Amino acid sequence: MKAKWNVPDSTWVIAAGAAIGILGAVLSEAGNPPNMGLCIACFLRDIAGALGLHRAGVVQYLRPEIPGIVLGVAGAALVGRELKGRSSPSVAVSFLLGALMMIGALVFLGCPIRMMLRLGSGDLNALVGLGGFVLGIVIGVSLLRRGYSVGRSAVGAGLSTWIAPLLAAGLVVLVVVRPAAVFFSAKGPGSMSAPVWISLGAGLVVGALAHRSRACFAGGIRDILLIRSVHLLCVPLATLAAACAMNLVLGKFRLGFEGQPVAHTDHLWNFLGMSLTGLAAVLLGGCPLRQLVLASGGHGEALVAVGGMLVGSALAHNFQLAATPAGVPAAGKVAVGAGLAICLLIGWILREK
């Protein structure tokens, strides 16, 4: 029997969104890169670099927020008696979609969380990205209505529930010990970080709340279109409101397109990059945060998707697909176009007859 939380679902959803907005601003103030206090895509990319999967020296760091989220989810799921292994028959598709979702995010320079944090600090380039994100979700919902499905999940081996938490605990050890085999940036965004225990604590809070609220930045828009529910939409709205309020208090709010930290003004590719992220998120069943949360709770296909995101970040930097503040390289534009085409093909092929 699941533990009873005795708190209305709407309260959990708003609390999760507000916590992400507040902690995102606080972590930047504590040392994380500006407007990047919390970003699943950016932080997985940094972890991939620290482990040597890519050699972009300015984005290599074992971000404690990620293992913190994983352990927070696992702890909350254990308390709620919800920790159990599950998987679907289409893990290869999950891996590919995870990689494509990451490439889209790195062309935009941020996941949906960072998109809302950037918007909450006055970065209007994020508003362009939001438009693309919505379009990608609309296309994904259209494919869902036409029968898209990766197959039904089934209960898996109990051991699979502990894979993500054990890996997360290992990352915490590595970031504390800092062995020579792990890479740490000497300059650039990777060299900017909040104290380890503050980052880890923030991740634990976000993980626990994201698990209990079922937070998903793509799910809010998807559910409006599919079932006319605004329940999950409270997550990004609360994140935006809280981030905006905190940035105003901290004196970090700056409205405009130009000169925003770790951002570019190539509007077409801000739009299309987040279109790819939104479309892939709907086909996967959740945004990067949701995939990390599901993986932490024992969902095998989500764990594979997170692995795809790590590989996608490595590809993005090893093959110069990722954007920089100077703009989007030609290879990145090709990758986004190809990624959109592949997602549409997957959505069309995997229709239940």
pLDDT digits (tens, 9 = 90+) for 102-115: 999 999 999 999 99
Asked whether residue 206 carries a pLDDT value surpassing 50, the answer given is: yes
Q: Is residue 1 part of a domain?
A: no
pLDDT tier at 150, thresholds 50, 70, 90: confident
In three-state secondary structure terms, 332 is: helix
Q: Is residue 164 part of a domain?
A: yes
Overall average pLDDT of the 238-261 stretch: 97
Q: Is 52 left (phi over 0), alpha (psi -120 to 50) or beta?
A: left
Tens digits of per-residue pLDDT, 110-136? 999 999 999 999 999 999 999 999 999
Q: Is residue 258 part of a domain?
A: yes
Number of residues written out for the chain = 353
Phi–psi pair at 54, nearest 5 degrees = -140, 165
CA triplet 124, 125, 128: central angle to 5 degrees?
Answer: 100
Overall average pLDDT of the 266-290 stretch: 97
Number of structural domains the chain divides into? 1
pLDDT at 186: 96
Residue that wins the pLDDT comparison between 353 and 203: 203
Domain span at 115: 9-349
Q: Which residues of 304-315 are buried (b: 16+ CB within 10 A; e: fewer)?
A: bbbbbbbbbbbb
Q: Which long-range contacts (CB under 8 A, 24 or more apart) does 92-96 make?
A: 92/304, 93/150, 93/346, 93/350, 94/150, 94/284, 94/301, 94/302, 94/304, 94/305, 94/308, 95/304, 95/305, 95/307, 95/308, 95/311, 96/308, 96/342, 96/346
Report the amino acid identity of residue 272. Answer: L
Tens digits of per-residue pLDDT, 321-330? 999 999 999 9
Overall average pLDDT of the 245-268 stretch: 96
pLDDT tier at 161, thresholds 50, 70, 90: confident
The C-alpha R_g of the chain, in whole angstroms, comes to 18
Helices (H), 31-121: 40-50, 65-79, 91-108, 112-120
pLDDT at 353: 60
Q: Which residues of 163-180 are buried (b: 16+ CB within 10 A; e: fewer)?
A: ebbeebeebbebbeeeee
Q: Is residue 61 part of a domain?
A: yes
Q: Is residue 3 part of a domain?
A: no
CA distance 121 to 262: 13
Residue that wins the pLDDT comparison between 308 and 163: 308
Provide the pairing of β-strand 86-87 with 154-155: antiparallel
Tokens at residue 73, please? Answer: 């989810």
Asked whether residue 85 carries a pLDDT value surpassing 70, the answer given is: no
pLDDT at 135: 98
pLDDT at 2: 45
Asked whether residue 1 carries a pLDDT value surpassing 50, the answer given is: no
Cβ atoms of 288 and 143 within 8 Å: the answer is no
pLDDT at 157: 54
pLDDT tier at 229, thresholds 50, 70, 90: very high
Overall average pLDDT of the 276-297 stretch: 96
Phi–psi pair at 21, nearest 5 degrees = -65, -45
Asked whether residue 155 carries a pLDDT value surpassing 70, the answer given is: no
Q: Is residue 4 part of a domain?
A: no
Average pLDDT, the chain: 93
Burial class (CB in 10 A: 0-12, 13-18, 19+), 230: exposed
pLDDT at 297: 87
pLDDT at 156: 58
Asked whether residue 225 carries a pLDDT value surpassing 50, the answer given is: yes
Tokens at residue 6, please? Answer: 């005795």
Asked whether residue 86 carries a pLDDT value surpassing 90, the answer given is: no
pLDDT tier at 63, thresholds 50, 70, 90: very high
pLDDT tier at 88, thresholds 50, 70, 90: low
Sign of the CA dihedral running 177, 181, 186, 189: negative
Terminal-to-terminal C-alpha distance of the chain: 36
pLDDT at 43: 98
Q: Which residues of 111-124 are buried (b: 16+ CB within 10 A; e: fewer)?
A: bbbbbbbbbbbbbb
pLDDT tier at 6, thresholds 50, 70, 90: low
CA distance 63 to 54: 15
CA distance 114 to 100: 18
Count the neighbouring beta carbons within 10 Å of the beta carbon of residue 275. Answer: 28
Asked whether residue 255 carries a pLDDT value surpassing 90, the answer given is: yes
Tens digits of per-residue pLDDT, 166-188? 999 999 999 999 999 999 999 99
